[in-house]
A = this chain, B = another copy of it.
Amino acid sequence: MAAELRKDLVRDTWVVIATDRALKPNDFPINKGWEKAKVSGQQVCPFCEGNESYTTDEIAAFRAGNTLPDTPGWTVRTIPNKFSAFKLEGELELKRTGIFQSCNGLGQHEVVVETPQHGVEFSQLPVERIKQIYLMLQQRYRQLATDRRIKYIQIYKNRGLFAGASLEHSHSQILALPEVPSENQGLSRYYEQEGQCLLCKILEEEMQSRQRLIYESRHFLLVCPYASRFSYETWVIPRRHTEHFADINEEELDDLAAVMKTFMPVMLDCLGDPSYNMVINTAPVNQDIGGGYHWYMEIVPRLIVAAGVEFATGFYMNPVAPEIAAAMLREKLPR
């Protein structure tokens, strides 16, 4: 698939456009109808063990010692995103046509298949398998960061139709970009203005007030953020000021896996098994960065569809106060 990044001159951001084909109206998951959209329309799930030939070029996998790439025997497997708009080829080139600006889709888009088994959710995996997923994400992060053309690495997970998932089999995605999205520059902007790390400051205030605290572990704090855009939105913040997700150490990794194994089933149970997204916000790579970056994870249950007012104004409307959301989740978790 050929693609380009086009500049949105009104909003001063980039849009990724597929230039050589168009999804027909009936190709959209939403138009396939609710029940059909819950699973992929495909007869064969390309992410299942045994179907490795439906994907190409295994990039990395944790697998039994005597098994070959692109064969069964793996627990976590990374492959290229088949519908990727990005290619890690050549250099970034800006093109102008009249007032319009575009650049080539330089980058890489990968899928991390989290389990060989269809129907097993991230939250149902044993804690050591959750740890393996984070190990894989770290390994890919480090590898992609060695390419100087990559400036930002976005890790995210879409689970369920209302979170934008197009395949049911549990997976995460890694998108390596040639530009730092402006959405990710808030922490460094705060540091420039205030001379301190916003996340460290938030940790301090949330520990003190305890109003929005959901759960504390040795290395992480879970809070519903003060200005939650989404109802029951949860941030997982490492206590140690760490810029990059890949800088997390072994002990922290064990703790993170345990925290997720504790929190996710409770959250899903409390909220009626909603669709959700998980995104990891981290520092840019291959450039001088200002201070104030502190990686953290956002877990966003998708209970509300963003409406006209949200994307017109950028003001999100949240009908659940984070203090109430945090109290509800906290109550169901072990102390």
A residues sitting closer than 8 Å to B (CB atoms) are: 5-23, 25-26, 28-31, 34-35, 83, 85, 98-100, 152, 154, 156-158, 161-165, 173, 175, 177, 181-184, 186-187, 189-190, 198, 201-202, 205, 209, 226-229, 231, 270-272, 274-275, 277-279, 281, 298, 300, 302-325, 328
Q: Which residues of the partner chain B approach A83 to less than 8 Å between Cβ atoms?
A: 319
- Min CB distance A177 to B, Å, is 7
Residue among B30, B228, B312, B318 making CB contact with A162, cutoff 8 Å? B30
Q: Assuming the A-B contacts A16-B317, A30-B303, A321-B22, are A99 and B308 also in contact, with contact meaning beta carbons closer than 8 angstroms in the complex?
A: no
Q: Assuming the A-B contacts A26-B272, A30-B274, are A9 and B190 also in contact, with contact meaning beta carbons closer than 8 angstroms in the complex?
A: yes
Complex alpha-carbon distance, A305 and B11, angstroms: 20
Residue contact A98 to B205, C-beta cutoff 8 Å? yes
Chain B's closest residue to A1 (CB) is: B319
Residue contact B186 to A16, C-beta cutoff 8 Å? no
Q: Which residues of the partner chain B approach A190 to less than 8 Å between Cβ atoms?
A: 9-10
- Min CB distance A270 to B, Å, is 7
Residue contact B31 to A272, C-beta cutoff 8 Å? yes
Residue contact B205 to A30, C-beta cutoff 8 Å? no
Complex alpha-carbon distance, A306 and B158, angstroms: 10
Can you list the 10 inter-chain pairs with the closest CB atoms, starting with the nearest? Answer: A164-B307, A156-B308, A277-B308, A10-B186, A181-B313, A34-B34, A22-B324, A279-B312, A183-B314, A6-B227
